[in-house]
Structure 1
Amino acid sequence: MENRIVVGGALIHQGRVLAARRSAPPEVAGYWEFPGGKAEPGETQEQALERELHEELGVRARALRQLPGQWPIRAGLELRIWAAELVSGDPQPLEDHSELRWLGPTELADVDWLEHDREVLPHIARLLAEPRP
Structure 2
Amino acid sequence: MTKPMLLVAAAALIDVDGRVLICQRPEGKQLAGLWEFPGGKVEPGETPEACLIRELDEELGIRVTKSCLAPFVFASHEYEGFHLLMPLYLIRRWDGQPSAKEHKALAWVKPVKLDDYPMPPADAPLVAWLRDLI
Of all paired residues, the percent bearing the same amino acid is: 35
Equivalent residue of 1:107, what SS?
Answer: helix
Distance 1:72 1:52 in 2: 23
The yes-or-no answer on 1:125 pairing with 2:131 is yes
> Residue 41 of structure 2 corresponds to which residue in structure 1?
38
1:48-82 CA-partner distances (Å, limit 9, x unpaired): 11211111111123321041332244645523141
Tell whether the 8 Å contact from 1:10 to 1:81 is kept in structure 2 after alignment: no
Specify whether residues 44 and 66 from structure 1 end up closer, same or farther in structure 2 by C-alpha distance, changes over 3 A only.
farther
Distance 1:74 1:6 in 2: 16
The yes-or-no answer on 1:22 pairing with 2:29 is no
The yes-or-no answer on 1:58 pairing with 2:64 is no
Structure 1 runs not aligned, ≥5 long? 129-133
> Residue 106 of structure 1 corresponds to which residue in structure 2?
112
Deviation at 1:117, TM superposition (A): 0.8
TM-score by length of 2: 0.81
Distance 1:30 1:74 in 2: 19
How many residue pairs match? The answer is 127
Deviation at 1:6, TM superposition (A): 1.2
Structure 2 runs not aligned, ≥5 long? none
Distance 1:50 1:100 in 2: 18
Task: Let me know the Cα RMSD of the aligned residues.
Answer: 2.1
Q: Which has the higher strand share?
A: 1
Specify whether residues 37 and 24 from structure 1 end up closer, same or farther in structure 2 by C-alpha distance, changes over 3 A only.
farther
Distance 2:111 2:29 in 1: 29
The yes-or-no answer on 1:88 pairing with 2:95 is yes
Distance 2:33 2:96 in 1: 25
